[in-house]
Structure 1
Amino acid sequence: MKQSRWRKTAAMAVLATGIGATLGGGYPGPEAQAAPAPALAPSLMDMAARAPLARNERDGAAPSPQASNAAPGTAARLDAPHQAAGAAPAPNAARRAPGAAAPGQAGKPAPPGGKSGLAVADAAVGQAMARPIASSAEARCPAQPAKPERPGEASRTDGPSRLVCLAVAFEATLTPPQREALRLPFTAKHAVSWSNRPVDEFPRNGIALGTLGEDSLEALKALLREALSESGYDTARGIILADDKMSSAAGGNPRWGSALYHVAFLGDPSSREPWMLQLSGRHLALNLASNTRETGVTPMFLGIEPRLFSAGGRDWAVMEPRLESMYAMLRSLPPDQMAAARLGDSHADVLLGPGKDGHFPEAEGIPYSHLGEQQKQRVRASIAAWVRTAAPASAQALLAAYLSPEALERTYIGWSGSTDDRVPGSYVRIDGPRLWLETVTLAEEALPGRGHVHTVWRDRKADYGGCFF
């Protein structure tokens, strides 16, 4: 898609206000970077308080009835070399509702100038997402050699992975109550507890990004960068910043902003035991499993409004390469194949979004084997555009599975609505024996004419690392 289709927006609303500005001061200095963020606006506290009581029954919760496989137990302790990097979490008896502030943080007045606490928190998170990762956050866990130094020699990296190191480094920046809320057991009940619905409708696991201090946000960015590819990390940043654009356009809507994203660890970060890094907000949900039966990077929900915007001194169009690949694939079909690929049902949203775990329908559309070589190449390119959101090692393993001749022979292409990706109801799907990719165009909620899409990537075998479904 060419950027000329869309009207360009002005630069993003001022993001220079740090979390420390809630007290009327300037950008926090180095001595204040590890301090906890101030409480969010009372509206966010109210949202957390209204969360269903069942969601607070965290420890020892049984997996959902759909979980036919035994879930990994409450995960093992942290790898010993990293216990010194941050204090161990407190016992689980005092869990708070998702997003709740630490004791003593609630009830602070709005900052001078009439800016709500939530708007200030959005600005702080947005400012962090728009800038490069602090070198100090990256340096906490040096890169590890990918290969032995000499053939036949075992790697000297016998300790925890860099991902685990960065997870523990992030946790070490948190207050004790935040650490306590960050970790949950790796069970089906908690794994499936993600959504793209506003947080007041669907409370999230873990802690809100708007409650994090600057040092914690930088540590979280370093963790996400390690867990994803470079383009995947950039996509996550862009989606979060786009949500702030939506919030600002709606007059500071308290349901959409970056401050309301939540991060959680399901299980204990480990190089051996199963655990999952979960990030969930309005238009982004990541469920990145480690040490599980299968390479687990799904379900992954990616959406955006607006599709093109400016923030932090650059233009963002993070979903366009994926969408362009899907629609180039669709438009390459000749009329007879286009008719064969058309689905019987229309779609107002993705079919397998949150709460639809394990509900894969029977295959529809045109088989990959019926396509010409040019069309087949475009199908493979579309799959690769999405899968390369994952970290390189994970993406390589998944592409090998999805693009094997056996898998492609059982892959189908489908569409409905319109072949114009700007038209609400335009829907495209790639459905393989494992792979499920779908994208749909929706009407804009806050920025008319700027584009609004929802997408989801699932894997029949490897959602949540293949542990539950």
Structure 2
Amino acid sequence: MTADHDIDGSFSTARVTAREEAVTLSQDSYTAFLYPLDDEKLAPWRGMGVDEFSAIKRSPDFVQALLGDWRSLYEQPFVGITTGGVVRDGVHPLGEARPNDPEPVDAARVLVDLLDAERREALLHDLDAPDWRAWSNPEFVIHRVGLRLEEQDDAVVEAVHALMRASLSTAGYARAREAMELNGYLGELTGLETLMNDRSYWIALYGTPSVDAPWGWQLFGHHLALNVVFVGGRQVIAPVFIGAEPALSDGERAPLFDARERLAIELAESLSAEQRGEAVVYATVLDPAMPEGRVHPADERHLAGAFRDNRVIPYEGIRADRLTSAQRVLLRAIVEDFLLLLPDAQRERALSEVADYLPETHLAWYGATDGSQPFYFRIQSPVILAELDHHAGVWLSNRVPQRFHVHTTLRLPNGNDYGKAYLRQWRAARPA
């Protein structure tokens, strides 16, 4: 029998302990895993403010060790995610520089104009400030960057959403907003609305909003992190972290990543036996064949989350040139869903660049391919790294992964997270 005990109040050994038996999906709704409101997992936090809560959550030795690891990663100079430790140059060409989209510029200026001097100073950062890399996705605060939405008046919060709407595609804004609303729903389910609500997020601006010069903005908090950069008419939205626990509300709408998961299962199920032998790296999400440390107590299987800007991630799985044309269509559709936040024209350019590296694109799958188990998959090439992972409960009581707790990440390997590869090219074309 698999040992299972708490590491701290949020994490248990079951989420990282290998097991011979497969992790199967519960037939129960996520509501079957709700803690009673008077449970010790919830009651001590009720009514607590985020600063007091964060101080207590950061205090255990286990969390302090995690924070120490993350701090050392944060303090490293930015390189970018690679497959072997060396950045591959030339895979993110900026092309001929053009003006940036004026609508986000106008929206950002409206936001700035609403603020007094003190809040404006907190919001605005230099374009090259290290704070870009301080984002995180837990419900407790690790770094304070910018303004916290729940501390702002309604006009400022609406201006932040107007900036999001102006910068993202219509469907992309809807997805980001849904992640924020699901965080609020989790707060309602647990009675912890002061800690988890649809304003539990930090907003910061980098550089001066302009059609002529690079600038960007960042929003992050529980289960949502967006890093948006405008450079020479190109737009980068990466790193991205979007998740939810639960990934659906009261049954009135589909789970947050339902379409993406359906496409992924359809692709995985279409694999021949030979293809499956290449694509399926581990038979289950807690496979004993995994090397020690492969499942992280906070990140579980995903590799490209907060503070992992320089991670070396070798390719796994099957190359896309081993897929049939129909399977490649499904793969493209999954990638397009990961890129949904980008406005339409920007998304098409990004998809074209992904297609240029299709022969080098890899699909790695952990778990059963038929949707009967929680699973993890990663799509990785020189220009994109996209992950979806099912997690054990933090605020729900499932001790092993279930599909109603989902984490997703999106990165631009080889140095273009935060638009940095584009920035270098833009500046090189304009010597001082």
Q: Give yes or no for TM over 0.5.
A: yes
Alpha-carbon distance between aligned partners in 2 of 1:183 and 1:421, rounded to the nearest angstrom:
45
Select 2:366's aligned residue among 416, 440, 451.
416
The equivalent residue for 2:340 is 388
Deviation track 1:229-257 (CA, whole Å, cap 9, x = no partner) reads 11110001110111112222222165433
* 2:88 aligned residue: none
- Identify the match of residue 215 of structure 1 among 155, 158, 162: 155
SS at match of 1:307: coil
Is the 8 Å Cα contact of residues 226 and 391 (structure 1) preserved in structure 2?
no
Deviations 1:36-77 (A, max 9, x none): xxxxx772344688999xxxxxxxxxx9542369xxxxxxxx
Q: Which residue of 2 aligns with 1:432?
A: 381
Task: Give the alignment of 1:98-177 within 5 angstroms.
Answer: 161-177=102-118
The residue aligned with 1:67 is 78
Aligned partners of 2:260 and 2:395: how far apart in 1? 23
Cross-structure match for 1:185: 126
| 2:409 equivalent in structure 1 | 456
Cα distance change of structure 1 residues 273 and 177 upon mapping to structure 2, 3 Å threshold: same
Report the Cα offset of residue 7 of structure 1: 4.4
Task: Find the counterpart in structure 1 of residue 281 from structure 2.
Answer: 343
Counterpart of 1:195 in structure 2 is: 136
Kept in 2, the 8 Å contact 1:418–1:427? The answer is: no
Separation of aligned partners in 2, 1:267 and 1:465: 13
Question: Structure 2: how far apart are the matches of 1:387 and 1:317?
Answer: 18
Alignment of 1:241-256 (within 5 A): 241-252=181-192, 254-256=194-196
Equivalent pair of 2:237/2:341 in contact (CA under 8 Å): no
Judged with a 3 Å threshold, the aligned counterparts in structure 2 of structure 1 residues 275 and 416 are, in CA distance, closer, same or farther, namely: same
Quote how far apart the aligned CAs of 1:164 are.
0.5
In the alignment, the residues of structure 2 paired with residue 279 and residue 287 of structure 1 have an alpha-carbon distance, to the nearest angstrom, of 7
Deviations 1:9-59 (A, max 9, x none): 8xxxxxxxxxxxxxxxxxxxxxxxxxxxxxxx772344688999xxxxxxx
Partner of 1:44: 50
1:173 deviation in Å? 2.3
- SS of the aligned residue for 2:49 comes to helix
Residue 377 (structure 1) aligns with: 329
Say if 1:158 and 1:247 are closer, same or farther in 2 by CA, change over 3 A: closer
- Deviation by residue 1:375-403 (Cα, 9 ceiling, x = unmatched): 11111111112112212232122111001
- Whether 1:331 and 2:337 are equivalent positions in the alignment is no
The verdict on how the C-alpha distance between 1:428 and 1:267 changes in structure 2, with shifts beyond 3 A counting, is same
SS class of match (1:203): coil
Gapped regions of structure 2 (runs ≥ 5): 1-26, 32-46, 60-73, 81-97, 283-289, 425-432
Inter-partner Cα distance in structure 1 for 2:189 and 2:390: 20
Q: Secondary structure at the match of 1:302?
A: strand
Cα deviation, 1:283-304, whole Å, max 9, x if unaligned, reads: 1100001126964211111111
Residue-by-residue CA offset, 1:86-121 (whole Å, 9 max, x unaligned): xxxxxxxxxxxxxxxxxxxxxxxxxxxxxxxxxxxx
* Partner residue in 2 for 1:147: none
User: Quick check: 1:438–1:456 contact (8 Å CA) kept in 2?
Assistant: yes
Aligned with 1:258 (options 167, 181, 198): 198
One-letter amino acid of the structure 2 residue matched with residue 328 of structure 1: E
2-structure distance, mates of 1:363, 1:67? 21
CA contact (8 A) 2:366 2:377 kept: yes
Match of 1:445 in 2: 394
Letter in 2 for 1:382: I
In 2, Cα distance between equivalents of 1:159 and 1:389 = 17
Q: Please say which structure displays the higher CA radius of gyration.
A: 1
Structure 1 vs Structure 2: percent identity of aligned residues? 27
Note the C-alpha offset of 1:310: 4.4
TM-score norm. by structure 2 comes to 0.69
- Corresponding residue number in structure 1 for 2:180: 240
User: What CA deviation, in whole Å up to 9, does each residue of 1:248-272 have, x standing for no partner?
Assistant: 2222165433332111102221222
1:210 maps to a residue whose letter is: E
TM-score w.r.t. the length of structure 1 is 0.64
Contact between 2:103 and 2:167, CA under 8 Å: does it hold in 1? no
Q: Distance in 2 between matches of 1:382 and 1:214?
A: 36
Cα root mean square deviation, aligned? 3.1
Cα distance, 1:159–1:395 mapped onto 2, change above 3 Å: closer
Of the structure 1 ranges 296-305 and 315-324, higher mean CA displacement relative to structure 2 is found in 315-324
The residue matched to 1:244 in structure 2 has which SS? helix
| Alignment correspondent of 1:116 | none
Letter in 1 for 2:238: T
Alignment-mate amino acid for residue 313 of structure 2: P
By relative contact order (CA 8 Å, sep 6+), the higher-ranking structure is 2
Does structure 1 conserve the Cα–Cα contact (< 8 Å) formed by 2:99 and 2:211? no
The answer on whether the counterparts of 1:285 and 1:301 sit within 8 Å (CA) in structure 2 is yes
- Equivalent residue number for residue 398 of structure 1: 350
How many residues end up aligned between the 2 structures?
Answer: 331
Which secondary structure state, in structure 2, belongs to the residue aligned with residue 315 of structure 1? coil
TM-aligned CA distance change 1:420 to 1:199, over 3 Å: farther
Distance 1:412 1:158 in 2: 34
Query: How far 1:442 moved relative to its partner?
Result: 0.6
Whether contact under 8 Å (1:287, 1:298) holds in the other structure is yes
| C-alpha distance in 2 between matches for 1:270 and 1:310 | 42
